[in-house]
Amino acid sequence: MSAAQPSPPPVTSPSSMAITLQIVSIVFYTFIAFLCIGLPIAVVPGYVHEHLGFSPVIAGITVGAQYLATLLSRPLAGRVADSIGTKRAIIYGLSGIVVSGVMTLAATLLESVPDLALTILIIARVFLGIAQGLIGVGTISWCIGQVGSEHTAKAISWNGIASYGAIAIGAPVGVVMVDGLGFISLGVTLSILSLLALVLIRNKPSVPVVRGERMPFWSVFGRVAPFGLSLTLASIGYGTLTTFITLFYLSRGWNGAAYCLTVFGVCFILSRLIFINAIKRFGGFNAAIACMVIETVGLVMLWISPSTQFALIGAGLTGFGLSLVYPALGVEAIKQVPNSSRGAGLSAYAVFFDLALAIAGPIMGSIAIGLGYSSIFLCAAVLSVAGLALTICLSRRPRY
């Protein structure tokens, strides 16, 4: 009888913790980018409205210019990530933040000429928006290429934790900075943070570019559009809260608007940390539907809030609800495109989130002028319900 052949050693896959650490090391650059976005988010509307003397609509347009720029640059961001590389996309994005910081500083130095200062500030926001698009697509695509497409939900979730966590930290820090050092400190800080990130990324190895046929962006766009439209309807609540919570508090004579953003961000992060595996367990559609219901309740609470405590609870529920909407619908959307066009798919899907943030400012600003600031949260809640209905319809579509 021949001796038994030894069995080959078992093939082990990276542990969940190892995968998470790989993802975190990449989405670190998302954290830096969104820290730069979060620092001015609670002070720019008030600065434009009260300091430079422009209307709430102009304040909304100034904030929305960043999101519109992100939206319009998405095709470029996807093309750069797919054809040149994910690391290069992030480097370009960080360079854009440097430019935005320098222009924000220039706007502050020229504030004695309000029209010129506003123009430069809007251009600075545009550069920040383009940078957001490049870094957002670059980091998620890099993560998926590093750990595999089966971890798409985890990659998108941790990218969101990095982004909203950075905003939760950056919003109150920005208020403290402006109160203590003036608006001039924002431009300086944005430039320094992004330059440091550029130094850190230099020696970090990227993943190779995925070879294969590239789908035209608009073909990819058509495939993910139904999922993206639902995302837009749900995400207008986020754009409304971040753009107008400061002016909403001022209209009520309340203090501490930045803490609403902090509570939103903390609840958002906690939801993703606690329920990060819910998408894989229950499916993208079911997770999105449950989260949209919670978000709607939070927006209604903001609409009827009689006190800051009630408003904080509403902001928390809104953040808790929105937490899994993006990755849940994103998992379903990315299934529609091949890996060689993953960057384009992520970009096309993200366009709809950008659209929500771009239109929230001017539309809700106009509604606030006519009906008051509380009414904008009711409008956002109605749109969230519309997104919920669309998601339910998508979940019932025949699958082939």
Three-state SS sequence of 208-224: CCCCCCCCCHHHHHHHH
Query: Which bin fits 160, alpha (ψ -120 to 50), beta or left (φ > 0)?
Result: alpha
pLDDT at 209: 63
> How much is the pTM?
0.72
CB-CB contact of 42 with 48 (8 Å) = no
pLDDT at 232: 94
Q: Is 18-395 a domain of CATH 1.20.1250.20?
A: yes
CB-CB contact of 131 with 97 (8 Å) = yes
CB-CB contact of 277 with 19 (8 Å) = no
pLDDT at 296: 95
Residues 248, 288: Cα–Cα separation, whole Å: 28
Question: Please, what are the averages of pLDDT over each run of 10 residues along the chain (400 residues)?
Answer: 47 68 90 91 82 82 83 82 85 94 91 89 93 88 81 82 83 87 90 94 76 71 90 90 84 83 84 82 89 94 89 92 88 78 78 81 85 90 94 79
Tokens (6 digits) for 352: 């709809």
Task: Please state the domain extents for the chain.
Answer: 18-395
pLDDT at 203: 83
Distances (CA, A) of 18 to 205, 208, 325: 17, 20, 25
Distances (CA, A) of 260 to 22, 101, 186, 308, 363: 31, 25, 21, 9, 21
Per 3-state DSSP, what percentage of the chain is helix, strand, and coil (rounded to 5)?
80, 0, 20
Specify the 3-state DSSP secondary structure of 94. Answer: helix
Identify the DSSP state of 324: T
Specify the 3-state DSSP secondary structure of 97. Answer: helix
pLDDT at 211: 64
